[in-house]
Amino acid sequence: MADAPYTPPAVWDPNTVSGGRFAGINRPTAGPREERELPVGEHPFQLYSLATPNGVKVTIMLEELLEAGHRGAEYDAWTVNISAGEQFGSGFVAVNPNSKIPALLDRSTPDAPFRVFESGAILVHLAEKFGMFLPADPAKRAEVLSWLFWQVASAPFIGGGFGHFYAYAPEKYEYPINRYAMETKRIFDVADKRLAQSRFLAGDEYSIADIANFPWLAPFTEGTIYNDAKTFLSIDEYTHVARWVAEIKARPAVRRGRIVNKVWGDEDTQLKERHSAADFAGKRLD
């Protein structure tokens, strides 16, 4: 059955209620909605985030740097409850005017702290600062950045597109589900074909391209995102993606990074805040 026809008005009404899971916080305006300071810990990096795919990119990156021996990458990770609208507090908006997680405050130079927002920008910043996961060779660097920004450009089709209409929208409509299911499968096919040619997305070396893509692709292969999306999209078809996911998810830093700022699921897989390696004691790293 075709969807009921909808004729857009000449001018969209900003007071329109869209419904759905995030109807209570969605507004067509930017800026703070309340005065709320952010907590600040003792480490060089202060991360304000949540363990969504975009948030996990940064905690994996920081844990990888620590795993490699970079003590200067120590960080405090503070949970931002986006369902409760905490991203619209004045302190968070000062770090990210777009009110999206993750946001990073770099205090490694105490007298000149600065913000970095957008997950892709944070990964590049940390990679350049510590000289890891982003090659210096121009051709290799270009390949890594290409796959990084491919992910940044693709995520809205997967999350705001497929994820929203398939799992979160108050009503199911055939057209948007078909539209974004097709695009999500196309994205998986791009990755699968590439990973049939190389061990990692940008070649033989693990990089920020893999760190960025893994948190979005892995939950589909595991069947842990958007209800039964794994079955609906026949994700098992993408065997090269599955091989890549299995290799990356076994990395100790990845296992730690995936639970930082996680506030759902079994309690022993949650780590609401992270302030030192000791915080992982007693936690189950799947």
CATH number at residue 66: 3.40.30.10
Percent of the chain with pLDDT over 90: 92
Distance CA 212, CA 256 (A): 16
Q: Assess if residue 21 is contained within a domain.
A: no
Amino acid identity at 34: E
Backbone angles phi and psi of 145, in degrees to 5 = -65, -35
Query: Among the listed ranges 10-24, 99-113, 173-187, 268-282, which one has the minimum average pLDDT value?
Result: 10-24
Q: Is the peptide bond before 102 cis (omega within 30 degrees of 0)?
A: yes
| Containing structural domain, residue 144 | 138-249
pLDDT given for residue 3 in this prediction: 57
pLDDT given for residue 1 in this prediction: 47
Distance CA 256, CA 163 (A): 25
Own/partner pairs, 246-250, CB within 8 angstroms, 24+ separation: 247/199, 248/206, 248/210, 248/214, 248/218, 249/214, 249/218
Distance CA 87, CA 82 (A): 6
Q: Are residues 88 and 125 in the same domain?
A: yes
Q: Are residues 144 and 126 in the same domain?
A: no
pLDDT given for residue 21 in this prediction: 77
Q: Assess if residue 34 is contained within a domain.
A: no
Q: Are residues 145 and 229 in the same domain?
A: yes
Q: Are residues 223 and 197 in the same domain?
A: yes
Q: Which residue is it, tokens 């065997």?
A: 239
Backbone angles phi and psi of 11, in degrees to 5 = -130, 125
Q: Provide the terminal-to-terminal Cα distance of the chain, rounded to the nearest Å.
A: 42
- CB 116 within 8 Å of CB 106: yes
Which residue in 235, 205, 57 sits closest to 139, CA to CA?
Answer: 205
On whether the pTM is more than 0.75, the answer is: yes
Q: Are residues 200 and 272 in the same domain?
A: no
Q: Assess if residue 79 is contained within a domain.
A: yes
Backbone angles phi and psi of 78, in degrees to 5 = -115, 135
Q: Assess if residue 2 is contained within a domain.
A: no
Distance CA 142, CA 144 (A): 5
Q: Assess if residue 4 is contained within a domain.
A: no
Question: In this predicted model, what pLDDT tens digit does every residue of 196-250 receive, in sequence order?
Answer: 999 999 999 999 999 999 999 999 999 999 999 999 999 999 999 999 999 999 9
Q: Are residues 125 and 144 in the same domain?
A: no
pLDDT given for residue 4 in this prediction: 67
CA dihedral 269, 147, 71, 109 (to 10 degrees): -120
- The count of structural domains within the chain is 2
Q: Assess if residue 153 is contained within a domain.
A: yes
Q: Assess if residue 63 is contained within a domain.
A: yes
Domain CATH number, residue 157: 1.20.1050.10
Sheet holding 75-79, edge to edge: 75-79, 45-49, 103-106, 114-117
**Given pLDDT bands bounded at 50, 70 and 90, which one contains residue 161?**
very high
Q: Are residues 143 and 238 in the same domain?
A: yes
Q: Are residues 85 and 143 in the same domain?
A: no
Structure tokens at 182: 């097709």
Q: Are residues 184 and 206 in the same domain?
A: yes
pLDDT given for residue 286 in this prediction: 84
Question: In this predicted model, what pLDDT tens digit does every residue of 15-65 receive, in sequence order?
Answer: 887 777 777 788 999 999 999 999 999 999 999 999 999 999 999 999 999
Q: Are residues 144 and 236 in the same domain?
A: yes
Q: Are residues 142 and 245 in the same domain?
A: yes
Q: Assess if residue 215 is contained within a domain.
A: yes
Q: Are residues 175 and 117 in the same domain?
A: no
Query: Mean pLDDT across the chain, nearest whole number?
Result: 96
